[in-house]
Amino acid sequence: MGSRLGHSSMRLAHLNGEYKAKTVDGAVSEFCSRFQLANHRKTRTILAKQPKLQSTSLSTANCVAEVRVMAEHQSASHKTEKPSVWERITAVTSLAIAVGGLGALVFAWFQIREMRDEARVQHLIALVDKFDSADQVAIRRSLALKRVDQTQKRLRPLDVSDAPIEFYDELGFCEDLGLLTRRGYLDPHDVWNEFSDWLFYLYADARPLLDAEQKHDPAEYRECTNLVESTRPIERQEAGGADDHPTEEELYNGYLGDIEQPGQFAGQVRGSKKGGAVP
């Protein structure tokens, strides 16, 4: 019987590939049936010569039981096996590689973030330099002279059909600021810190002109409008909303500052966050 079980194990391994799509019980039963059939012929020949001998072939049920016992014994032996040294080394190496890869990703993320912040600062400096340039200072002073009536000490009425050309220059700069902020090239808080005084005053005085332009084309100066509205919450949080809705008197005093202090952006008159223009 031991010899036959040994041959059975070998044939079971061979049949495993042939019947891998079947269930384990079905494959074992079929194997044992074939094993019994193969041995039936040999047994019949032996019994013909020695009738008193009983058949030593295994029944299908006994064969299945024996194979299950062998399988359970082999499974139990695998469970008790401890991982080899090389398997442990491989596991530790894989873990080290994974941790190292994660560390590299985190480092790269911080590097990219730092580069982005540096780029934002450079964009901000470039726009502040442009804002403080002689051309922009001259535009603001010219607009202020057209908007104030120093004799009456009030703002002149704004005719949207014949608005000062300087308004369009100022609104164009505001549009650039809004686009760059929305695209992430500028930090919204930095824009508020550097430009909010000018931004809220310009928007308040040019609002009738903006309404007329956007009635004709809703996309006109949309970036500027969105920038102002998105900056208001920062103004309310940081300064209690002191300058986001200036009065007509405040607009008049602001324009006087542009006339009397060209290049200073009326910082002291308007209570600038910077205490004056950025050099």
In a domain? residue 89: no
User: In the predicted model, is pLDDT for residue 199 greater than 70?
Assistant: yes
In a domain? residue 249: yes
Residue type, 190: D
In terms of domains, do 117 and 75 share one?
A: no
What letters, b where the CB count within 10 A reaches 16 and e where it falls short, cover 93-120? eeeeeeeeeeeeeeeeeeeeeeeeeeeb
- Boundary residue ending a domain (53, 79, 105): 79
The SS3 assignment for 154 reads strand
CB neighbour list of residue 86: distance below 8 Å, 6 or more residues apart: none
What end-to-end distance do the CA atoms of the chain give, in Å?
102
In a domain? residue 100: no
In terms of domains, do 130 and 228 share one?
A: yes
Residue that the structure tokens 């990703």 belong to: 105
State how far Cα 230 lies from the chain centre: 22
Q: For residues 220 and 209, is the Cβ–Cβ distance under 8 A? A: no
For residues 129 and 149, what is the distance between their CA atoms, to the nearest angstrom?
30
Question: Rounded to 5 degrees, what angle do the CA atoms 68, 69, 72 make?
Answer: 85
Q: Residue range 38-46: average pLDDT?
A: 46
| Structural domain that includes position 72 | 2-79
Instruction: Count the domains in the chain.
Output: 2
In terms of domains, do 170 and 266 share one?
A: yes
In a domain? residue 88: no
In a domain? residue 257: yes
In a domain? residue 174: yes
In a domain? residue 98: no
User: In the predicted model, is pLDDT for residue 94 greater than 60?
Assistant: yes
In terms of domains, do 50 and 161 share one?
A: no
Residue that the structure tokens 């369009």 belong to: 168
- What are the strands, taking DSSP E only, across the chain? 148-149, 154-155
In a domain? residue 102: no
User: In the predicted model, is pLDDT for residue 263 greater than 50?
Assistant: yes
In terms of domains, do 126 and 260 share one?
A: yes
In terms of domains, do 45 and 124 share one?
A: no
In terms of domains, do 74 and 154 share one?
A: no
In terms of domains, do 41 and 178 share one?
A: no
- Residue 143: band (very low, low, confident or very high) from pLDDT cuts 50, 70, 90: very high
- Boundary residue ending a domain (79, 104, 121): 79
- Residue 130: band (very low, low, confident or very high) from pLDDT cuts 50, 70, 90: very high
How confident is the model at residue 231, as a pLDDT? 94
In terms of domains, do 59 and 150 share one?
A: no
In terms of domains, do 161 and 74 share one?
A: no
In terms of domains, do 117 and 168 share one?
A: yes
- Boundary residue ending a domain (79, 102, 123): 79
In terms of domains, do 44 and 141 share one?
A: no
Most confident of 42-56, 159-173, 241-255: 159-173
Least confident range from 125-129, 143-147, 269-273: namely 269-273
